[in-house]
Amino acid sequence: MHIMGVNLWAVLVAAVATMVLGFLWYSPVLFANPWMKLMGYDPNDKAKLAEMRKSAGPSYGLSFVASILAAAVLGKIIAIASVHSVLYGMKFGFGVWLGFVTTVQLTNSLFSRQPSKLYAINTGYQLVCYLAMGAIMGAWR
């Protein structure tokens, strides 16, 4: 099913993929501990972590909506450009990430005085997401 040239199934799969990537990226397997320390959280404070998990539902919900919107917009860009391959979809994902996502995050990081490692973790996650979304949208044209 397509709306305005964008495959809605691809949008849904891409949005779910970004959530899965986020669970992995910010898990103990990859960057959970350094991210928590850089954000000022104690990874050993079990009570605080449990409290954060209890209230995370709305954040995950809004994050999923944001992922749907990002995938739909990237899908429209890819449709306008007549991209029909995984590789070119990833190139467009990289371009959107480089031109818009990382620059906005960099500005925010600079003015909020965030550590560069925190910027790298967060923008690295966004890079992986935009590459994945681009691949999915390019493949499902």
Residue 101: CB atoms within 10 A of its CB come to 18
Domain residue limits at 52: 2-139
pLDDT digits (tens, 9 = 90+) for 30-66: 999 999 999 998 888 888 888 888 888 999 999 999 9
Instruction: Specify the amino acid at residue 41.
Output: Y
Structure tokens at 58: 């709305």
Nearest to 34 by CA among 101, 114, 126, 97: 114
pLDDT of residue 74: 97
134, 13 contact by CB (below 8 A)? no
User: What is the Cα–Cα distance from 50 to 29, expressed in whole angstroms?
Assistant: 19
134, 78 contact by CB (below 8 A)? yes
User: What is the Cα–Cα distance from 140 to 111, expressed in whole angstroms?
Assistant: 39
pLDDT of residue 48: 82
Nearest to 5 by CA among 66, 96, 73: 73
What is this structure's pTM? 0.92
**What are 3's strand-pairing partners?**
6
**Which residue numbers in the chain have pLDDT < 50?**
none
Structure tokens at 27: 């898990």
In total, how many domains does the chain have? 1
How far apart, in Å, are the Cα atoms of 60 and each of 71, 84, 94, 129, 135? Answer: 16, 31, 24, 15, 23
Query: Residues near 102 by Cβ (< 8 Å), separated by ≥ 6?
Result: 123, 126, 127
State which H helix or E strand residue 27 sits in. none
